[in-house]
A = this chain, B = another copy of it.
């Protein structure tokens, strides 16, 4: 089993940059799978129109309704007790009905308040989704919204792992970060956290993953050629324009609060 968690599984495991990297790499696969699955459906744009569905007692789009209600169910099952999980609609979430799992506490307490999901929601629906899917309406709103939620949750988990990246980087070199944290120098922190060569590798890898996982596999072909279920360059664009910048924003926000 590949570990998807950035957080160590038990108190005896330690937080390491290698462990987090392995998790981030495995999460790339989940993100690519979720994009391929969303692209089975056309845009189904009516789902995203405010009050188009006219649901009694609810104001918003159908996708908002489905995500809110599904998050309620998952909150009851304890999803948001895991410090790696952040809800898109944190207001009025029901309390868990199950005994909470003991997640090792490795983050600085103020990290819990960082939630970048508003930005993720906006770029995903307004900018990225129209590039990913074809126009049209096939009526499969519930299945489409479930696919949207799978994409959003996979992206959110990946981006908020920035908290763990920042924590382990701080622990490995506190002297390097303390100065810019105390003087709240956002730009200096962003520079310290930016490694262009690594980012280029990530972009190339996710594009390759989209190509491999999106290929049409037949008993005859050996690899890659032919039609793809999504345009592989979209995976690279997604990481370049949104996933990596937002992860670094999470890291910077976390570090700015690290000495509180």
A146 touches B205 (CB 8 A): no
Give, as a whole number of angstroms, the nearest-CB distance from A117 to chain B.
16
- Also in contact, A77 and B141, with CB within 8 A (given A2-B229, A217-B212): yes
**What chain B residues lie within 8 Å of A2 (beta carbons)?**
40, 229
**What is the CA–CA distance of A81 and B26 in the complex, to the nearest angstrom?**
36
A146 touches B98 (CB 8 A): no
The answer, yes or no, to whether A204 is at the interface (CB within 8 Å) is yes
**What chain B residues lie within 8 Å of A233 (beta carbons)?**
none
Q: State which of B26, B141, B205 has its C-beta within 8 Å of the C-beta of A78.
A: B141
B142 touches A74 (CB 8 A): yes
**What is the CA–CA distance of A219 and B236 in the complex, to the nearest angstrom?**
14
The answer, yes or no, to whether A196 is at the interface (CB within 8 Å) is no
Q: State which of B1, B77, B223 has its C-beta within 8 Å of the C-beta of A39.
A: B1
B139 touches A103 (CB 8 A): yes
**What is the CA–CA distance of A219 and B70 in the complex, to the nearest angstrom?**
37
**What chain B residues lie within 8 Å of A1 (beta carbons)?**
39-42, 133-134
**What chain B residues lie within 8 Å of A205 (beta carbons)?**
217-219
Number of interface residues of A (CB under 8 A): 65
Interface centre among A98, A204, A208, A215 (most CB of B within 10 A): A98
B29 touches A101 (CB 8 A): no
The answer, yes or no, to whether A9 is at the interface (CB within 8 Å) is yes
The answer, yes or no, to whether A65 is at the interface (CB within 8 Å) is yes
Q: State which of B26, B65, B204 has its C-beta within 8 Å of the C-beta of A40.
A: B26
A78 touches B213 (CB 8 A): no
B138 touches A5 (CB 8 A): yes
Interface segment among A30-38, A108-116, A182-190, A250-258: the answer is A30-38
The answer, yes or no, to whether A62 is at the interface (CB within 8 Å) is yes
The contact string, 1 if C-beta is below 8 Å from chain B, for chain A 15-45, is 0000000000010011001001101111000
Q: State which of B73, B133, B138, B213 has its C-beta within 8 Å of the C-beta of A213.
A: B213
